[in-house]
Amino acid sequence: MSTGGGPNDPSSIPLATRRKRWILNRQRQEIPPGKRRAIDARWSSAHPDARLRSSATATYNCVAMVFASRRTWVNTDQIAAILSDDGYKKVDEFHHIDIGDLVTYHDNADGGVTHIGIIMAHQRMPDGGQHAIEVMSKWGAAGEYLHKLEDVPDDYGEAAHFWTDRR
């Protein structure tokens, strides 16, 4: 989105980090309801354990769901600056993850951030085994899904880092 989404772009809205850095964004056109339903049906079929929470609009994406109150589309290349400027800290251990923290997904090919979601549930296993984590995230122009940490479209890669704004 480096070619648009700045302060002079009529399709963008005023959006900045806590340090007042402009966040590139664009309010995208809605897609026809039938096409959106078809996209949601495809994802529901491919990820039967993921639960569609909402499919109200295709005008925002995962980044905007997390940082922009579902009002616009913010490309994933803006995530690092937002996390830094807004004071997020990386959570290095599973037992420190809490509801409301964030998870970023990274592409295996180049390591770039491809997706972000909000931790909605975190079940810590008493025997120290695998943690069960549920995430809410917006899958592109499709809906918002409640899903297991690892249950995302293949293009998003794998969960790589957890982030918190807790002090």
| Burial call 33-55: b when 16+ CB within 10 Å, e when fewer | eeebeebbeebbeebeebebeeb
pLDDT tens, position by position, 96-109:
999 999 999 998 76
pLDDT at 2: 46
pLDDT digits (tens, 9 = 90+) for 37-48: 898 889 989 999
Tell me whether residue 15 is in a domain.
no
Q: Percent of the chain scored above 90 by pLDDT?
A: 69
**Can you give the residue range of the structural domain that contains 58?**
33-164
Q: Is residue 21 part of a domain?
A: no
pLDDT at 57: 84
Structural domain tally of the chain? 1
In a domain, 96, yes or no: yes
> Quick one: residue 70, left, alpha or beta (phi over 0 = left, psi -120 to 50 = alpha)?
left
d(CA 157, CA 85): 25
pLDDT average, residue stretch 121-140: 85
Q: How confident is the model at residue 21 (pLDDT cuts 50, 70, 90)?
A: very high
In a domain, 41, yes or no: yes
The answer to whether residue 110 scores a pLDDT higher than 80 is no
Residue predicted with more confidence, 150 or 124: 150
Rounded Cα distance, 47 and 158, in Å: 15
Residue 163 CA to residue 29 CA, distance in Å, equals 31
Residue 2 lies in a domain: no
Q: Residue 112: which CATH number?
A: 3.90.1720
> Does the structure show a pLDDT above 60 at 33?
yes
d(CA 86, CA 89): 9
Does the pLDDT value for residue 69 go beyond 80?
yes
| 114 within domain boundaries | yes
Structural tokens at position 68? 């922009």
Asked if residue 23 belongs to a domain, the reply is: no
Q: pLDDT exceeding 70 applies to what percent of the chain? A: 93
1 inside domain: no
**pLDDT > 80? residue 111:** no
